[in-house]
Amino acid sequence: MIGFLGSGRLLAACVLVFSGWIGLNLLPNVHHFDPFPFPLLEMGLSIFAVILSVTVLINQNRQGRIESIQRNVEFEVNVRAEEEVTRLLTLVHEIHQKLGLNAVIDNKELEEMKSDTDLKAIHRAVEPKQKG
């Protein structure tokens, strides 16, 4: 239904209905069920506008919820990828140690990369930016 509300078909249908309504009420020798200035048409258009507006707002809220879920899923995937990369880095470092290559990769940056990511700190840093 949402697809129809935002389509050219709805626009064409509205133009046809409104033109027909006005045309029938302007023809001579025909019973005018809604004479000029077309109060019934005006009321119908007002009701249609309210229904259309509410439908658009409902759709926007639904889309917002979907986007929020997608962001959460994306975040979870990124966290898992971070954990996997950290674990792989640790395993590679252990292999280097067993092979006696410690001097080549032994540095402070490596130890920092091997440490677990503090998700709460990231959340605290990102949350104000999302709200503001």
| Per-residue pLDDT tens over the stretch 11-47 | 999 999 999 999 999 999 989 999 999 999 999 999 9
Res 12: pLDDT: 96
Question: Is a pLDDT exceeding 80 seen at residue 8?
Answer: yes
Res 54: pLDDT: 94
93 within a domain of the structure (yes/no): yes
86 within a domain of the structure (yes/no): yes
5 within a domain of the structure (yes/no): no
What's the pTM value of the predicted model, to 2 decimals? 0.64
11 within a domain of the structure (yes/no): no
Q: CA-based angle 92:96:101, to the nearest 5?
A: 150
14 within a domain of the structure (yes/no): no
Domain that holds residue 91: 37-131
Q: What is the pLDDT of residues 43-65, one digit of tens each?
A: 999 999 999 999 999 999 999 99
16 within a domain of the structure (yes/no): no
The answer to whether the bond into 37 is cis (omega within 30° of 0) is yes
88 within a domain of the structure (yes/no): yes
Question: What tokens does 83 get?
Answer: 């954990």
CA pair distance 61, 55, nearest whole angstrom: 10
Average pLDDT for 81-87: 90
Number of domains within the chain: 1
125 within a domain of the structure (yes/no): yes
